[in-house]
Structures are given as structure tokens and as C-alpha cells.
Amino acid sequence: DDDDDDDGDDDEHVPAPAKKRSRPVKKKKRPPCQYGAMCYRKNPVHKLELSHPGDSDYEGDDGGDDDGDDDDGAAAAAIIAAGAAVPIRGKPPRGRTSAAAASAAAAPSAAPTTMAGKPPPVDTGERTFWKPQCLPSEGGICTSRYGGRPALKPGEAHPTCGECGALLSFMLQINLHHIPEDAQDIFGDKGLVQLFYCTEDACSGWEPFSTASLARILDPSGLVLGTEQFHAPAQIVSWEEADKPEYPNWEERQSFDGDLPDDLDEEYYPEGGDKLWGWPGWVQSVEYPVCPRCNETMSLLFQHDGSAVDYMFGDAGCGHITRCSTHPDVVAFAWACG
């Protein structure tokens, strides 16, 4: 009798195939964001495409972080994978059209849409603004304030006028980390905006990018307190939002690329005095500067008439700190009087 086994096993031993050794997948490094720690973009697509300080593959000037974490990139990927709508610079403030949305609406495009496939919000020209509320104190190195001593980079001498050589008067600084959240949706929450100005009458500080003034934005980390003081300090301790919106003045409305209400009167014209965002209260004609890098029209960041530091620009003039939305490190100051 045959003792064959019908259990299906083959008596001949067949060696098992050798296991392939898996190679670790090397993660492709993303190019670093050119603004590093100063970047204020909140778009997850931007976070996914470019590395930032704190990401494992970041190799910018701020130095890399080798702890293996990539929180921003992972979070961005998760948001995109979930199919969430992607804001360009965060949510618009409580139904108002943000500066980013206004810029997007004005930009040429065959069929402008958001990541969710919906058209961008129509810019109605409605803007809010915030008035600074102050106390007579200097505060810390990087607190928002008028006058007092400025925050400077380590080893930096006090800025001087490029025309007469005199020390520039320190007018103000605004820490974007301390402005209202709705304003941070427009300007971001990183950076210290500063304004220095030459008070000599012969110098041309009224022109944007003049060497007789200095408008700039610094990374607040590592700054030191300067020694020169030209005006009594007034610390900005809070920001009071306007109780009604404002719209462009009559001249700016003529070239406004949006959908303005038909029944506007002077009650909704831009307010004068110091304010964060809103519309410029032009004393003469509309005079937005253009960014020297991209030729884009800059937009209002802060309006300053000098009264907080007991100074008058010309004959009751008013100045404006403007900023490029594409190059957020580019800021300018200019003023005009009647």
C-alpha cells in the first residue's frame, strides 16, 4: 500500500523567497520660505509647499530644527486632505472684506475662485479700523508705543537722516502680536513696525522711501532698548474698534474696483487721526506708493497725524504707513498737508 499523504503538502522542500530589505524613504526637503520667522501667511497650501522655522527640513537663516517634528506641514496636509476651504490670510473679520480679499478681487484673473471652488467675496469697500488707547508709560522693549526709546537690533546705532545727518526722531512702533485678532487676519501677528522721522524742515520726509524717514518692520526677537528719546512715551495698551465702518473718499471711489453701496454720504468717509487699517484720510489727492520690488500698489497699515507725539506734519498734515501685501517686509511712510 502506498502511504501517500493527500493533505496537499509537497514532500519536496521549497525554500522561502528571500525577504526584500526595505529602504527608509527619504523625505524630500521643501524650499524654505524667504520670510522665515517673519512669515505671516496662514494658508495651509503655503505651509505645505514651503518649510518654516520649526520644521524638520527648514534650512533658512533662522537655523533648522532637527527634532523630527513637522507640525506645520503635517497640519497643512491634514487640512487639505480633509477638503477644507483654504483661506488666503485667515478668515475675513466678522463679515468685513479683508485687505487680502480686496487685493485678490482687484487682481486680473480669467476665473477667480477660492480653493473651495467658490468665487471670492465681492469687495464692497467696507472697512473697520481701530483707534489706539494709550497710557503715559514706555512699557517693555517691544511694546506698542509712541515716543520713548525705540527697540533696536543688537549693536545698531540710532538711525540718522540721509539728507542732513541728524538723528531721526522716533515716532512710534506697533507690535503686530498685540493688535486685535481681526487685524492680525489682515497683517499677520509677527513683526514690529517702526517709524523714525527727521524733523528738520529742509528735509524731504514727506516722500515715500525718503532717506529723511525710516519706516520698517523688524523681527521682535533679540531686540534691545535704544538710548535716544525725542518724545514722551505713550504705551498703546489697547485698540478700540470703530462703531461704524468707513468707505473710500469721493476721489478714491472713482477708481475703486468693487461694488460700493449707492447711498453713501460723508458720514462714512475715512476718519482722520491715528488708526490701524481703515481707509486713508487723504488730505490732498490719493497717493498710494508702489512697492519697489514688484510695483504693486501698497495699502494702508497705520494712519498717523503726529498729535500723539506733539508734532505736526507741515500745516495740519496727516501721514500714512503703507505696506506691500506681496512683500510684507516692505513698508513706507509719506504725508501731505492742506
Q: Strand 224-225 to strand 213-218: parallel, antiparallel, or no bridges (unpaired)?
A: unpaired
Which three cell numbers mark 22?
526595505
pTM passes above 0.85: no
Q: Grade residue 174 by pLDDT with cuts at 50, 70 and 90.
A: very high
Residues 40-66 pLDDT 10s: 565 666 677 788 888 888 886 544 444
Which three cell numbers mark 205?
520726509
Q: What is the mean pLDDT of residues 162-187?
A: 97
The pLDDT value recorded for residue 165 is 98
The pLDDT value recorded for residue 259 is 86
The pLDDT value recorded for residue 41 is 61
Residues near 247 by beta carbon (within 8 Å), at least 6 away in sequence: 125, 126, 127, 253, 260, 261, 264, 268, 269, 270, 279
CA 331 to chain centre: 10
Residues 202-212 pLDDT 10s: 999 999 999 99
Q: What is the mean pLDDT of residues 123-143?
A: 96
Residues 285-333 pLDDT 10s: 999 999 999 999 999 999 999 999 999 999 999 999 999 999 999 999 9
The pLDDT value recorded for residue 57 is 83
Consecutive H or E run containing 142? none
The pLDDT value recorded for residue 18 is 56
Q: What is the mean pLDDT of residues 165-192?
A: 97
Look at residue 129 and tell me whether its pLDDT is greater than 60. Answer: yes
Cα separation, 57 vs 65, whole angstroms: 8
The amino acid that residue 126 corresponds to is E
The pLDDT value recorded for residue 75 is 54
* Cell 496537499, residue located: 8
* Cell 476718519, residue located: 271
Cα separation, 38 vs 192, whole angstroms: 10
Q: What is the mean pLDDT of residues 20-30?
A: 59
The pLDDT value recorded for residue 327 is 96
The CA-based diameter of the chain, rounded to the nearest angstrom, is 123
The pLDDT value recorded for residue 153 is 98
Q: Grade residue 258 by pLDDT with cuts at 50, 70 and 90.
A: confident
